[in-house]
Every structure is written in structure tokens, then in C-alpha cells.
Amino acid sequence: MASAASLKNFMRFVRQPSLRRLSSWGKVPMGPADPILGLSEEFQKDTFSKKVNVGVGAYRGDDGKPHVLNSVRTAEKRVLEANMNHEYAPIVGVQSYVNKSLEFVYGKENPAVNRTAAVQALSGTGALRVCFEFLSRFAGDQLGNKIYMPQPTWGNHIPIANDSGLDVEFYKYYDKDAMWMDFAGMMADVKKAPDGSAFLLHACAHNPTGIDPTPEEWKELSHVMKAKKHIPVFDSAYQGFASGDSEVDAFAIRHFVAEGHNIALCQSYAKKLWPLRRTYWNLQHCLWR
């Protein structure tokens, strides 16, 4: 396995056009710069003493450094005290972890817990990749190989979907003039899309705007999407981190399930449980009847 230093030197090498031509990998194009991470790099260069980095979804203290929650420290301690044997996990992940994840997002008494297929993946990007490839492989014809995403959305959503075989179309979400959510525009696009389309929805703390539908708007959206037989694909990266209450932040997901939707869900813990960055992806049974 390459060390961090050797990988850094390799990237420095491939960024030099004169040297890239000599490399067997010289024809590999550089990927586009990530606007959020690029902003973070500019932040690091800025010498202003009172600067604040709000470009990355991390919980930080007054010193500007990531703040590790007491719950995370407790979890770390319990993991060490458990003296685990580090055996290989099954292909679908650690079942006890997956089960707890299902209970966390749906609620312990929710019958959906017992009829959901779920697998563990590597953080949010891994869960999204598994989900999008599943959609492309098993529902591509139905979806026209398309998935609808909010405008704007998290930058990684688009290339992950494209590399999974899905084309991305956008639905209205943010009104720059009003500096608030364009719910009417969003609803119009949901109604206009072909029946049975896949829609990516941010469960809470929409990235990058931070603006979410109200509970009543979620209910209205659920009603229309059900009538249109659309497939809701939830990306939930901030449950418990948006409002401070994990039950409140699960509202949209739980309401859609209660209304009879069979959703796909990518649930990430990378933002709030730093040492437990693994993610699970689940698909409610009989997504396509």
C-alpha cells in the first residue's frame, strides 16, 4: 500500500504537464476541481486572524477545529473495551451495525425495519455508488437512465450518478433572488417529470443551502410523488445534526414510508460520528412492484 507521502509525490508529478507526457498515465485527464474543497484550500492560505471556515460540513469549536462530541468519545472507548477480533465482515457488512442503523433512521417500532434490504458501504460516496448502480442496473429502462437532483446539490452527487450509468437532470430548489427555497418551482418540476422517475432528496440540512421543506411541504411533496409513482432516493448525512434531534431530522423519511413509499436511502454518519465513518445503504423491499 502506498504511503501518504508517495501518493502526494505522485500527484505532484502528474500535475506537471512536461512530466505527464513521459508517464504511461500521461493521457489520463485531470478531474475538475471541487469548488468546496478548493474554497477550503483558499481558506488555509488566508492570513486573516478572525477567519471562519463554513465551507465543509464539520462541527467546529470556537478555535475553528473539529469538535469531537462526547458521544463519539464514549463510542471510541466502548469499541476499545470490546476487544474486537477484527475478523472480516460479511459482504453486506456487520449485521448488528446495519440493524442499529435501520432502527436509528426508521424508529425501533417501525415495521419497515423488518422488510428492508440493507448493506454497509464505505461512507456516503460508497452508499450512493451502490444505490445509483442498483438503479441503473435494475431500473434503468424504467427511469430512462435518469435521476432528478435539486439545483444545487452536493457536487459529488453528479459524477457518482454519471459514473454509475445515470444521466442527471435538475429540479428547481433554491431561489437566489429570494435567498430561500423555491418550493413552487420544485413541485412544478416533480409534476412535470415522467411517471416513475427517480428523485434524489436531501433528508435534512440540504447541502449546500441548508434550507429544507417544512413538515407540511414534505407532506405535500410526498402526496404528489406518490401520485406520480416516483422513486424517492434519500441522502441522509445529517440526521441529528441539523436540528439537534435525530427524531425530528428523520421526519421526511419516516413520513414517506408511512405514506406507502418504497424508498432508497443512503444514510451517512461521517458528519457526526467521526471515528465511525462507515455508512449503510438500504432499499425497502419491493421498490418496484
The per-residue pLDDT for 275 is 42
The per-residue pLDDT for 67 is 82
Annotated active-site residue 180? The verdict is: no
The per-residue pLDDT for 12 is 56
C-alpha cell read off for 261 = 413509499
Residue 1 buriedness (CB in 10 A; 0-12 / 13-18 / 19+): exposed
Catalytic residue among 189, 212, 249, 271: 271
State the DSSP code for 196.
T
* Cβ(201)–Cβ(147) below 8 Å: no
**CA–CA distance, 238 with 244 (Å, rounded to integer):** 10
Where the chain has pLDDT below 50, the residues are 273-276, 286-289
The per-residue pLDDT for 288 is 44
Catalytic residue among 154, 212, 249, 281: 154
Catalytic residue among 182, 189, 235, 249: 235
The per-residue pLDDT for 152 is 96
The per-residue pLDDT for 27 is 84
**Beta carbons within 8 Å of 148's beta carbon, 6+ residues apart:** 168, 169, 170, 171, 189, 190, 193, 197, 198, 199, 200
Report pLDDT digits (tens) over 264-277. 999 998 875 444 45
- The full DSSP string for 105-130 is HH-TT-GGGGGEEEEEESHHHHHHHH
Q: Report the predicted TM-score, pTM, of the whole model to 2 decimal places.
A: 0.83
Query: What single letter denotes the amino acid at residue 242?
Result: A
- Residues in a beta bridge with 201: 234
* Cβ(239)–Cβ(105) below 8 Å: yes
* Cβ(232)–Cβ(97) below 8 Å: no
Q: Calculate the CA 257 to chain-centre distance.
A: 19
* Cβ(256)–Cβ(263) below 8 Å: yes
The per-residue pLDDT for 13 is 52
Beta-carbon count within 10 A of 64 CB? 12
Annotated active-site residue 154? The verdict is: yes
> What architecture is the 95-284 domain classified under in CATH?
3-Layer(aba) Sandwich (3.40)
Which CA distances in Å does 189 have to 98, 141, 213, 231, 255?
34, 21, 15, 14, 21
Annotated active-site residue 235? The verdict is: yes
The per-residue pLDDT for 287 is 46
**CA–CA distance, 163 with 136 (Å, rounded to integer):** 10
**CA–CA distance, 136 with 231 (Å, rounded to integer):** 13
